[in-house]
Structure 1
Amino acid sequence: MKTIADCVEEILVTQPFLEEALSRRIINFSALAEELQEPISGMLRKPVKTGAIMMALRRYNPPKDLRHSNNLKSILNNLGDITVRSNLIDFTFKNSSTLFLSHSKILESINTTIFYGFSKGIHESNLVISMSEKEKIQSQFADEIMTSTQDNLSAISIALPENNTQVPGLYYQIFKRFAWEGISLHEVISTTNEFSVLVENDTVDKAFSAIKKLGYT
């Protein structure tokens, strides 16, 4: 049988910002209990008193706070070079049997110094490239189904230490910082030791500043 404590945990796990604030003891337990009274009563299908919820909140034992992981702090304080590339355009195509052929022909003809990113999902693929190559892409992929395109983008690339894949919580901290700063991400491109985000040109300065603040998280 589900208990009030089970309901509290279920809600907090799906709301990491709330869970983190709770772990730092910066939330008013009484006010939060009142906020959770209706959803928890609905989950248990019976009225629940705020006092019981407040007790469950005080007893809740969140996972170890990732912010205080020495390995995570070391990674955030030792991020590598941050590179910004502007004037980019993002194309989205439906996957097809000929998409890779078009992709390979583009790779043969473009300058290797320009920004170029390609990622394939189950149903669609994204191609991010410098605006200077826009007409070339439109011509080479003319027979493909393009579902969307977005220009006026900038990419911010971060070099990560080699051991970054062994440290839990790294990407959470990056995405959390963007969320707190109110920055929308258009696209995310990731390799083993490099992480790039695409943002609109008018928010690139704000996004760059947010990344620089990661070492102070």
Structure 2
Amino acid sequence: MKTIAAAVEHYIKSKPFLQTALSEGIINLTSLARIIRKDLIEANVLSNEQREDREVRNGAIVMALKRLSADMEFRSTHKIVKILKNIGEITVRGDLTDYTFLVSETLMNCQAELLQKLQNSKDVFYATTRGVNETNLIISSHKEPLVESIFKKERNLYKFDKLGAISVKLPEENVSVPGIYYFIFQRLAWEGVTLNEVISTTNEFTIVMPETQVNIAFKVIKDLKIL
């Protein structure tokens, strides 16, 4: 059987939102300890001795939570928040359309033709990602007729319009600090932002969402700089 400290740590780490709330000190530890003890018993994590121990019901779980809270708070404020304070340029775009095509032998030829016709176009947003079975193409909405003409023989699985995008420049050290994206996306999830796509390079990422949620997402990301 796991020790109480190990069982509590595993429990907290399996619940991201709870982990963040704990690190920010906004949870009543005694009340949380009662819930955790009940869940650990139901999951058969505690031994018979641990179940019967009065200390487990209170002090041991609370102490484990206090140690985790201090550790997580340090990690968040000392590393991740330091990086986020140095977020660079934030670029917002609107009026985008997102296509999802089934991967085929001719799909790349269609993409090449599209790129060739876009090379002299100004103020056009274009991004594409390829998975194992699907390829996504995000483009300025006024280019929809061009896309649908070139890709007319391809199988279009999904199409979403009225989308917006936010591109964020991250400091170069973001690649050496774990949890950066988790921290950002968790904040977006807290605010109910729905993400259609996430596109990233080494030091930049772009999130695509319904236009109605762009202002909320922009505020979330901007506020990260003043944590």
| Common topology (TM > 0.5) | yes
Aligned residues: 216
What is the root-mean-square deviation in Å for CA atoms of aligned residues?
2.2
Identify which range, 51-60 or 103-112, moves more after superposition. Answer: 51-60
**Which of the residues 95, 111, 114 maps onto 1:106?**
114
Q: Distance in 2 between matches of 1:112 and 1:100?
A: 23
Q: Which residue of 2 aligns with 1:89?
A: 97
Instruction: Give the alignment of 1:26-175 within 5 angstroms.
Output: 26-44=26-44, 48=51, 52-54=56-58, 55-60=60-65, 61-62=67-68, 63-65=71-73, 66-69=75-78, 71-110=79-118, 111=121, 113-175=123-185
Q: Which amino acid aligns with 2:76?
A: R
Deviations 1:87-125 (A, max 9, x none): 000001111222111111110001264100100112211
Q: Which residue of 2 aligns with 1:212?
A: 222
Q: Distance in 1 between matches of 2:55 and 2:149?
A: 66
Scaled by the length of structure 1, the TM-score of the pair is 0.88
1:17/1:122 CA distance change after superposition, 3 Å: same
Identity, in percent, stands at 38
Displacement of 1:178 in angstroms is 0.7
Q: Which amino acid aligns with 2:35?
A: E
Q: Distance in 2 between matches of 1:100 and 1:112?
A: 23
Scaled by the length of structure 2, the TM-score of the pair is 0.85
Displacement of 1:167 in angstroms is 2.1
**Is the CA contact (8 Å cut-off) linking 1:33 and 1:51 kept in structure 2?**
no
Q: Distance in 1 between matches of 2:45 and 2:203?
A: 48
Q: Distance in 2 between matches of 1:2 and 1:52?
A: 13
Instruction: Give the alignment of 1:14-29 within 5 angstroms.
Output: 14-29=14-29
Give the gaps of 5 or more residues in structure 1: none
Give the gaps of 5 or more residues in structure 2: none
Identify which range, 196-205 or 13-22, moves more after superposition. Answer: 13-22
